[in-house]
Amino acid sequence: MRIKKAVIPVAGLGTRLLPATKTVPKELLPIVDIPAIQYVVQEAVDSGLTEMIFVTGRGKDSIEDHFDEAPELEQVLEQRGQKELVEQLRTISKMVEIVSVRQKQPLGLGHAVLCARDLIGDEPFAVLLSDDLIDAPVPCVRQLLNVFEAEGESVLALRRVPKPEVRRYGIIQGQVLSDRVYQVEAMVEKPEPQDAPSELAIVGRYILHPEIFSCLEKVPPGRGGEIQLTDGIAELARRRKVYAYEFSGVHYDVGDKLGFVRATIAYALKRADLRDQLKKYLATAMSEG
């Protein structure tokens, strides 16, 4: 079965990036000059997904506007002869079909995914978190879809992290099946390093079987009344097979201050228009700092 739909939850409060996120959705904070969400939508499109479902919340309307047409702006730019910029804006508005559903209260990532249930129906789907940027020659979601197409069951994206960092992630316990492919037996959310079953961390890309919805319904709310996606997937793994794939690519957590700065530097260094000057600046800053 071919997967067409991607759920992109964008209803979180983004408290780690306050005060910037007081009025600006964290998904629109730019990595150089492209909002984080645009990289993620591009990854979904490059992976062959055609329908994006944004789970939005209060104050997040501008995320949808970013993917909409902007006739007045285009007109002004055209009058000024800035054709390249006009083309760039048009490409964004033609990227993909977007529908949205509202999460009225930020009751957790699991709850956000559950909000997309009616728009997904009874078919497997992808979930992408815009906190996670993955720079990879083969888009990360495409790598997961390749495993899904072989196995026909849910697939989670995995990254090996240094032991002290396990407390920032959902960590799996699993059996290795073949190169980079695991079968998930259990999952622990943000364990202390001494309690972690492995150093294999779940990163924000998932292919999920629709049975996840009935699992999420059963998950009791945890801290702050939040329903965790990890708990739903743990229940799913008790009912049917769940795979995980150690993707190739570089991961940046742009929902976190240090991760955001790292991604900004890494993506700027890849840009021909910035690279040389930035390298010079970094060398000077390092020697002075």
Binding site residues, ligand UTP, CB under 6 A: 9-16, 55, 103, 106-109, 111-112, 129-131, 255
Please say which residue, 130 or 154, places its beta carbon nearer to ligand UTP: 130
Closest distance of CB 111 from ligand UTP, Å: 6
Q: What is the DSSP string of 189-232?
A: ES--GGG-S-SEEEEEEEEE-TTHHHHHHHPPP-GGGPPPHHHH
Spatial CA neighbour of 242 closest among 218, 196, 206: 206
Cα dihedral across residues 230, 231, 233, 238: positive or negative: positive
Please say which residue, 127 or 147, places its beta carbon nearer to ligand UTP: 127
Please say which residue, 64 or 185, places its beta carbon nearer to ligand UTP: 64
Spatial CA neighbour of 35 closest among 92, 83, 120: 92
Distance from C-alpha of 1 to C-alpha of 148, rounded to nearest angstrom: 9
Spatial CA neighbour of 166 closest among 208, 197, 144: 197
Please say which residue, 106 or 232, places its beta carbon nearer to ligand UTP: 106
Closest distance of CB 132 from ligand UTP, Å: 8
What contacts 55, CB < 8 A, 6 or more positions away? Answer: 7, 8, 9, 10, 11, 100, 101, 102, 103, 112, 113, 115, 116
* The pair of three-digit structure tokens given for residue 82, joined into one six-digit string: 């800035």
Q: How many residues does the chain have?
A: 289
Closest distance of CB 241 from ligand UTP, Å: 25
Please say which residue, 161 or 268, places its beta carbon nearer to ligand UTP: 161
Closest distance of CB 103 from ligand UTP, Å: 5
Closest distance of CB 105 from ligand UTP, Å: 7
Cβ atoms within 10 Å of 110's Cβ, excluding its own: 23
Closest distance of CB 12 from ligand UTP, Å: 2
Please say which residue, 11 or 158, places its beta carbon nearer to ligand UTP: 11
Closest distance of CB 196 from ligand UTP, Å: 19
Q: Which residue is nearest to ligand UTP (CB)?
A: 12
Please say which residue, 5 or 111, places its beta carbon nearer to ligand UTP: 111
